[in-house]
Amino acid sequence: MERVNPKTVVWTRETGAVEKRDLWTAMKRGFRCRCPRCGEGKLFRAFLKVDNNCSVCGLDFTPHRADDLPAYLVIVIVGHIVVPLALSIETNFAPPVWLQLAIYLPLTLVLSLLLLQPVKGAVVGLQWALRMHGFDENPPDGVPPV
């Protein structure tokens, strides 16, 4: 006797259609602290607090899991700016230590504070574009969001 699958799926052109998400566009919009989907609504409600949803398109931001990644990326970026600059100045001009500390410490602090919010926005944009965590509206069955 032949078994029949009780769950019949009718495939149409729209069955597999999902919202197309461009990674770089979403990351650029996030870097500008805007919604990764529409690019209009604000992403943050405070310095590093991501808003609950977009005020323009209503995208739910709560599934994001940026965690410590923006801080790590800012450390890498600022380190790649300040360290070569410090080595170059020390090699070519050898200024006194107090002058170097007076330049590099505030520079590191200011660059870190300036980059933290845009980098976090870019990380949220990346997670949305790649449908990570809860940003996938059609998750496969049996796989809990991480």
User: Using CB under 5 A as the criterion, which residues of the chain lie in contact with Zn ion when the complex forms?
Assistant: 35, 37-38, 41, 54, 56-57, 59
Hey, what amino acid is at 110?
V
DSSP state of 3: -
Backbone angles phi, psi at 92, to 5 degrees: -90, -35
Q: C-beta of 53: minimal distance to Zn ion in Å?
A: 8
Between 37 and 64, name the residue whose CB sits nearer to Zn ion: 37
Sole residue written with tokens 């001009």 = 93
SS3 (DSSP) at 34: strand
Q: C-beta of 27: minimal distance to Zn ion in Å?
A: 15
Between 51 and 136, name the residue whose CB sits nearer to Zn ion: 51
List Cα–Cα distances, 127 to 17, 40, 43, 65, 136, in angstroms. 20, 18, 13, 8, 10
Q: C-beta of 41: minimal distance to Zn ion in Å?
A: 4
Between 40 and 90, name the residue whose CB sits nearer to Zn ion: 40
Q: C-beta of 71: minimal distance to Zn ion in Å?
A: 25
Q: C-beta of 48: minimal distance to Zn ion in Å?
A: 19
Between 38 and 71, name the residue whose CB sits nearer to Zn ion: 38
Beta-carbon contacts of 18 under 8 Å, excluding residues fewer than 6 positions away, are: 137, 138
Closest CA to 129 of 6, 12, 36, 15: 36
Between 42 and 65, name the residue whose CB sits nearer to Zn ion: 42
